[in-house]
């Protein structure tokens, strides 16, 4: 997977289908991978996902599933009908095992969400965890590998450690991609595109730096150019 366009996932974190369609249209063939999360799913995002797949685009459904085993499995089965390439769930061992069983024999890449990039050690402590983000991410990575997951979502700052745990074949998907000096928004653990790839990321998720740009295609091209500089 050497073409950066296969590794850059644009987050369609917008309020409605009209805006999402506009973003996709403006980017054209520059980008062929799109993430659809809660904000868009609740306003027709699943229908858009099906349309994107029909148009030859790849879709990453960022739904972060977590429920009892049967509900997770049935959710995965429903997602398979959409044709998405990637699906997230929280990296709890039982949920991951249920999802893997439901997706067995398909091309759906299941991604375990480790620690959200908007969270730091204080946030984890408030949530009742006694570990640092790095320690919890490492534990979740080991559990995801054991469950047979397709990959993980983690901050780029943890990508090297995760890659060391999961080996060369699992996907390591990193949000929180920002150029130095740019607005980090609510992200707390960030890294530039080239650095993230060199740290071990297989895919980069970029939302606001592209979607909120005055020239979305140019913003995507700048990120792709930086990705091409990775060694």
Binding site members for substrate: 13, 35, 62-71, 117, 178, 187, 207-208
Annotated binding site: 13, 35, 62-71, 117, 178, 187, 207-208
Active site (annotated) includes residue 3: no
* 51 catalytically annotated: no
Which of 62, 74, 94, 226 is the catalytic position? 62
Q: Report the alpha-carbon distance of residue 105 to residue 39 in Å, rounded.
A: 30
Q: Catalytic pick from 6, 51, 57, 64? A: 64
> Which of the following is catalytic: 6, 51, 67, 120?
67
Catalytic residues: 62, 64, 67
């Amino acid at each position: 997977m050497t073409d950066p366009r296969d590794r850059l996932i644009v987050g369609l974190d917008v309020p409605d289908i009209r805006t999402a369609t506009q973003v996709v249209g403006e980017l054209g063939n520059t980008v062929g991978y799109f993430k659809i999360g809660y904000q868009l799913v609740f306003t027709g995002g699943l229908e858009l996902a099906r349309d994107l797949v029909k148009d030859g685009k790849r879709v990453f459904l960022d739904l972060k599933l977590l429920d009892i085993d049967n509900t997770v499995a049935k959710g995965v089965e429903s997602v398979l009908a959409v044709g998405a390439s990637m699906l997230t769930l929280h990296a709890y061992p039982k949920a991951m095992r249920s999802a893997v069983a439901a997706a067995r024999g398909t091309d759906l890449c299941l991604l375990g969400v480790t620690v959200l990039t908007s969270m730091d050690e204080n946030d984890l402590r408030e949530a009742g965890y006694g570990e640092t983000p790095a320690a919890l991410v490492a534990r979740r990575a080991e559990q995801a590998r054991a469950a047979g997951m397709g990959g993980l979502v983690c901050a780029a700052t943890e990508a090297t450690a995760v890659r060391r745990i999961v080996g060369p074949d699992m996907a390591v998907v990193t949000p929180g991609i920002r150029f130095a000096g740019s607005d980090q928004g609510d992200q707390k653990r960030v890294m530039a595109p080239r650095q993230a790839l060199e740290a071990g990321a297989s895919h980069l998720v970029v939302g606001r730096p592209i979607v909120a740009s005055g020239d979305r295609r140019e913003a995507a091209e700048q990120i792709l150019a930086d990705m091409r500089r990775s060694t």
